[in-house]
Structure 1
Amino acid sequence: MAGDKAEKTDAAATGLAGLLLPYDEKGYTRGPDLGEFGSDAELSGRQATALRKESLKDLPRSERRKLEKALDKRSLKGMAMRSYYNADPYDIHHKTAFSVSVVLARMESRDDARDVATAQNEFLSAIGIFRKGPKIEGHKNAKCFLTPKVDDEKLDRVFCAAYSGDVLISATVSGLRPLDLNSIGIFVTRQLDRIDDPGKAV
């Protein structure tokens, strides 16, 4: 019943929500709640700005504040987000499992989407503390960064950003170290393919 409900929701989705990968895509199921909005939601511009800032909370404070200021200069028209959980059914200890949250934000213009995605990627690259994330095939403007390796930290996170038209795309992945970067790269590539080819969302 839950699967049927998810498929109906995906089929009925329009706009930004219709561009998100459905839950039945290669075995992905509903992930953890995204704040108070649940695992699948569409937001207004004001709600979107607040949530975008919240999504930066895992970054170092000084870097986070700079990105928040950049967001304040760009108006968001709306947002759609969905969280996913991926686990190998044969991995009983869930060592290879990870969760992904995808956020699609519609900006005022293509230039705004490009500028925010480019600024975030250049910034994370320039501070020099992140490891190289998975490669996203066929999407030159997409970049992913893996959090620094800390000896007593059991979790890894990946931050990805890209844009397509006036849509800013962000993906945040979390799971036990070491993350399966190949699977993450495939997922993000599929999501970006779907946005670049709206026919796939019908």
Structure 2
Amino acid sequence: MNDHRTHRFLGTALPALLVAGALAGGSVFVGAVVDGADRSAPTTVWAESQAKPPKDPAGDIGRGRADTDLTRKLLPVPPGYLLGPDMGEYGNDTELTGKQAIELVKAAGADYSAAVRQQVYKEIDRMGIEGLALRSYRLKGGNGQGSLTADVSLVAFQDRAAARSWYEVASQRPGASKGPVIEGGKHSACFLEPGSDVDGIESVTCVAYEGETAVTVAAEGMKPFNRSTFTELVKDQLDHLASPGESV
């Protein structure tokens, strides 16, 4: 996969999902964020809110950092995977503070009218975003399972109600095709992204929540895209989120 994918995830897709939650919270038309956003425009906050991992993160660095409460909730890199490509300026395994995450999300709403933008910013502040952890994964080649690169984000909200409200909005994707079902994923929904299966590449996004944490997994793979491999990765992340102290 190339850099445009990871730029799109952090620069547009993830912030747009969070803005959609803010729009819904403010009783503003949710479709505006999906249909009216300029998806080609880079997000200006990239140069402003860079979060670099510490020099000596706790744990096995090959499996991902685990030196904060939120990064410990990210799925350690499973057998058969490696840390994936960098997500723009943020690298492939990092955490943003609540302030940095809010800046990233607000930047996604900067193109709206002043009235809508004011409401969006107000609702974003009310959402109580406390942090954002990011990790990318790449399936090792040569194992007969095909290609797969996945970007995973965990958004920490101040309470379960906020995470649930975000999920209820993010799981409503008018016009999107239903994606694979995650076994045991009671609070999860997956979609085939519009324009998927272009140039032999399939794109899938799953959203979920557990407690006060919202999950987004955005993956791409060359066809034949092994959906069972992808759904197992998502399931493992959700299981780990429910019991982060258990090894994977």
Residue 51 of structure 1 and its aligned partner are, at CA, apart by 4.2
Structural mapping, 1:25-104, within 5 Å: 25-51=78-104, 69=120, 72=124, 73-91=126-144, 96-104=146-154
CA distance in 1, matches of 2:94, 2:238: 19
Change (3 A) 1:17 1:36: same
Change (3 A) 1:196 1:53: farther
Q: Which residue of 2 aligns with 1:6?
A: 62
Tell me the TM-score normalised to structure 2 length. Answer: 0.64
Structural mapping, 1:43-192, within 5 Å: 43-51=96-104, 69=120, 72=124, 73-91=126-144, 96-122=146-172, 124=173, 127-128=174-175, 130-148=176-194, 152-192=198-238
Q: Which residue of 1 aligns with 2:57?
A: none
Report the AA paired with residue 84 of structure 1: Y
**Percent identity for Structure 1 against Structure 2:** 34
Residue 88 of structure 1 and its aligned partner are, at CA, apart by 4.0
| Superimposed CA distance per residue, residues 133-153 of structure 1 (whole angstroms, 9 cap, x where no aligned partner) | 121111211011012456754
Q: Which residue of 2 aligns with 1:19?
A: 73
Give the secondary structure class of the aligned counterpart of 1:159: strand
CA distance in 2, matches of 1:52, 1:137: 30
Name the larger-Rg structure: 2
Report the AA paired with residue 87 of structure 1: K
Q: Which runs of 5+ in 2 are unaligned?
A: 1-59, 109-115
CA distance in 2, matches of 1:5, 1:151: 34
CA distance in 2, matches of 1:151, 1:15: 37
Q: Which runs of 5+ in 1 are unaligned?
A: 56-64
Residue 26 of structure 1 and its aligned partner are, at CA, apart by 2.4
| Superimposed CA distance per residue, residues 56-86 of structure 1 (whole angstroms, 9 cap, x where no aligned partner) | xxxxxxxxx99xx497252310111100001
Is residue 2:240 matched to residue 1:200? no
CA distance in 1, matches of 2:241, 2:127: 21
CA distance in 2, matches of 1:54, 1:97: 32
Residue 178 of structure 1 and its aligned partner are, at CA, apart by 3.8
Stretch moving more, 69-78 or 171-180: 69-78
Residue 154 of structure 1 and its aligned partner are, at CA, apart by 3.1
Tell me the TM-score normalised to structure 1 length. Answer: 0.77
Report the AA paired with residue 75 of structure 2: L
Report the AA paired with residue 228 of structure 2: N
Contact 2:187 2:210 in 1 (8 A): no
Contact 2:75 2:241 in 1 (8 A): no
Give 1 or 2: higher strand fraction: 1
CA distance in 2, matches of 1:188, 1:36: 25
Change (3 A) 1:79 1:152: closer
CA RMSD of aligned residues (A): 3.2
Residue 50 of structure 1 and its aligned partner are, at CA, apart by 4.3
